[in-house]
């Protein structure tokens, strides 16, 4: 277990995510107006402020399209790789693209342990070659009311979990990000309790929509998006999508998740996209699609991020206002 220290910066002093989002949109709008003349870019997608990461990354071989994908147009790659939440590399949305080059995603291994018959570890090369890589175009909806459509490359998390033979004690799955302040300089500041941690109930983890993503837009993941391996749970808020995973543990009891530990009134364990349950500081009923531009109307948020047909049954009988 890591030794947890109280945060040096109280949560109240962390810039609320909605404020960053607005700051960035204003910056983009200002740049667009200054560069091209008023009115020319309004209502159209604005260029990304930071195209960092757009260079060639290793392509992933033999990626097959997945029938699980949405047919919505994907968000531009520049926006996906230039607008990130990854506190290990800073608390501003532009920070990870500028600073995550210090992360070394190879060699990399993920330990799988806890309530299973075959605990062990798996290297990233075996992850890339040992599972059928699919392109899955999923929505990512963040709690502070912004969203993207991302052409992830990945495979069902359940395919990996089954290899380690979970026992009947395995009711939950816990995930941990790398803890290494040399590679992740943001960990030198106690803005969160490091390492970043997440958890799912075992049926959520085994659901075919839940993937481990190894890439996006056909290439290996850029560091700022969680290289070399991150979780994607498309019906849940973005903070469940833990990045740069080094440990996956089967547990009998509900694991800690970082944002719940930091601000339990605001971020629950379940964190399902739910337009009917507002965050204490903003509405969850509508969201802005990154790339739409500051003046485009917000879109209506769908229950379970539009995946209700596939996942609503997981929560039958639960009060989602309590389990938010």
Is there a binding annotation on residue 84?
yes
CA–CA gap between residue 67 and residue 304 (Å, rounded): 19
Q: Which of 152, 164, 239, 269 binds ligand MTE (CB under 6 A)?
A: 239
**By the rule CB under 6 A, 20 interacts with ligand MTE:** no
Nearer to ligand MTE, 207 or 243 (CB): 243
Nearer to ligand MTE, 166 or 222 (CB): 222
**By the rule CB under 6 A, 131 interacts with ligand MTE:** no
Nearer to ligand MTE, 42 or 98 (CB): 98
Is there a binding annotation on residue 241?
yes
Cis bond upstream, residue 228 (ω within 30): yes
CA–CA gap between residue 285 and residue 300 (Å, rounded): 6
Give the residue nearest to ligand MTE (CB).
238
* Span from 2-10, 125-133, 241-249, 313-321 in contact with ligand MTE (CB under 6 A): 241-249
> 135-162: b or e for each residue (b if 16 or more CB lie within 10 Å)?
bbbbbbbbbbbbbbbbbbbbbbbbebbe
**Interacting positions 168-187 with ligand MTE (CB under 6 A):** 177
Residue 320's nearest CA partner among 223, 236, 232 is 236
**By the rule CB under 6 A, 196 interacts with ligand MTE:** yes
**Interacting positions 73-112 with ligand MTE (CB under 6 A):** 84-88
- Give the DSSP letter of residue 291: T
CB of 317: closest distance to ligand MTE in angstroms? 28
Q: Which residues contact 225 (CB under 8 A, 6 or more apart)?
A: 80, 81, 84, 86, 213, 216, 243
Is there a binding annotation on residue 177?
yes
**By the rule CB under 6 A, 145 interacts with ligand MTE:** no
Residue 214's nearest CA partner among 320, 129, 142, 272 is 129
Nearer to ligand MTE, 155 or 239 (CB): 239
Size of the site for ligand MTE (CB under 6 A): 17
Q: Which residues contact 170 (CB under 8 A, 6 or more apart)?
A: 114, 115, 116, 202, 250, 251, 252
**By the rule CB under 6 A, 272 interacts with ligand MTE:** no
What is the DSSP annotation of 78-130? Answer: HHHHHS---GGG-SSTTHHHHHGGG---SS-EEEEEESBSS-EEEEHHHHHHH
Nearer to ligand MTE, 166 or 268 (CB): 268
CB of 177: closest distance to ligand MTE in angstroms? 4
Residue 278's nearest CA partner among 147, 145, 146, 139 is 145
CA–CA gap between residue 232 and residue 212 (Å, rounded): 6
**By the rule CB under 6 A, 209 interacts with ligand MTE:** no
Classify residue 40 by burial, with Cβ atoms within 10 Å: 0-12, 13-18, 19+.
Answer: exposed
Q: Which of 225, 272, 274, 305 binds ligand MTE (CB under 6 A)?
A: 225
CB of 215: closest distance to ligand MTE in angstroms? 12
* Span from 2-10, 156-164, 238-246, 306-314 in contact with ligand MTE (CB under 6 A): 238-246
Q: Which residues are annotated as a binding site for Mo-molybdopterin?
A: 84, 87-88, 142, 177, 225, 230, 241-243
Contacts to ligand MTE by CB under 6 A: 84-88, 140, 142, 177, 196, 225-226, 238-239, 241-244
């Amino acid at each position: 277990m890591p030794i947890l220290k109280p945060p040096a910066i109280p949560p109240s002093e962390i810039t609320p995510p909605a404020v960053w989002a607005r700051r960035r949109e204003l910056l983009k709008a200002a740049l667009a107006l200054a560069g091209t003349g008023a009115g020319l870019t309004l209502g159209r997608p604005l260029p990304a402020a930071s195209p960092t990461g757009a260079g060639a990354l290793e392509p992933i071989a033999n990626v097959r399209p997945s029938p699980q994908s949405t047919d919505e147009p994907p968000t531009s790659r520049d926006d996906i790789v230039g607008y990130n939440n990854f506190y290990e590399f800073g608390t501003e949305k532009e920070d990870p693209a500028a600073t995550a080059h210090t992360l070394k995603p190879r060699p990399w291994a993920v330990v799988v342990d806890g309530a299973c018959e075959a605990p062990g570890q798996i290297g990233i090369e075996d992850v890339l070659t040992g599972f059928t890589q699919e392109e899955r175009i999923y929505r990512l909806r963040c709690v502070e009311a912004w969203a993207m459509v991302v052409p992830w490359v990945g495979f069902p998390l359940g395919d990996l979990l089954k290899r380690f033979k979970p026992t009947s004690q395995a009711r939950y799955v816990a995930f941990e990000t790398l803890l290494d302040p040399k590679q992740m300089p943001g960990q030198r500041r106690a803005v969160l309790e490091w390492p970043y941690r997440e958890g799912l109930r075992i049926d959520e983890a085994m659901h075919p929509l839940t993937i481990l993503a190894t890439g996006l837009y056909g290439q290996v993941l850029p560091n700022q998006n969680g290289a070399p391996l991150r979780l994607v749970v498309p019906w849940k808020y973005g903070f469940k999508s833990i990045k740069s995973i080094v440990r996956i543990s089967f547990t009998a009891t509900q694991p800690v998740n970082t944002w719940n530990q930091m601000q339990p009134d605001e971020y629950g364990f379940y964190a399902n996209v739910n337009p009917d349950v507002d965050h204490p500081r903003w509405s969850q009923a509508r969201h802005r699609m990154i790339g739409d531009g500051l003046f485009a109307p917000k879109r209506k948020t769908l229950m379970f991020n539009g995946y209700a047909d596939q996942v609503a049954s997981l929560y039958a009988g639960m009060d989602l206002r309590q389990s938010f």
